[in-house]
Amino acid sequence: MTHNKLSYKHNNKIDFSYFASDCFHLSDKGHSLAAISLWNNLFEPVGGKTRTWHI
C-alpha cells in the first residue's frame, strides 16, 4: 500500500489520533487500521490489489 490519505475531522483539520505522540509512528488506532487494510489486501487477486488505504 503506497498511496495513503490522511483522515480529516468534521472541522477539516487532520485527525492526529491515528499517529503516536511523535506524529511519525502510528498509534494503536493507526496500527489497527493498517492491519485491517493489509488483511483485506490478502484476499484481493494478484494484479488487482488495492494500493491505497485511508487513514
Q: What is the pLDDT of residues 11-38, one digit of tens each?
A: 988 888 888 999 889 999 989 988 988 8
pLDDT, residue 27, reads 93
pLDDT, residue 15, reads 84
Which residues lie closer than 8 Å to 5 by C-beta, 6 or more apart? 52, 54, 55
pLDDT, residue 34, reads 87
Banded model confidence at residue 54, pLDDT cuts 50, 70, 90: low
Report d(CA 34, CA 47) in Å as an integer: 20
Provide the domain limits for residue 35.
3-54
Quick one: cell of 55? 487513514
Does position 55 have pLDDT exceeding 80, yes or no?
A: no
Match 498511496 to its residue by C-alpha cell.
3
pLDDT, residue 46, reads 94
Report d(CA 13, CA 33) in Å as an integer: 19
As for how many domains the chain has, the answer is 1
Alpha helices in the chain (DSSP H): 28-42
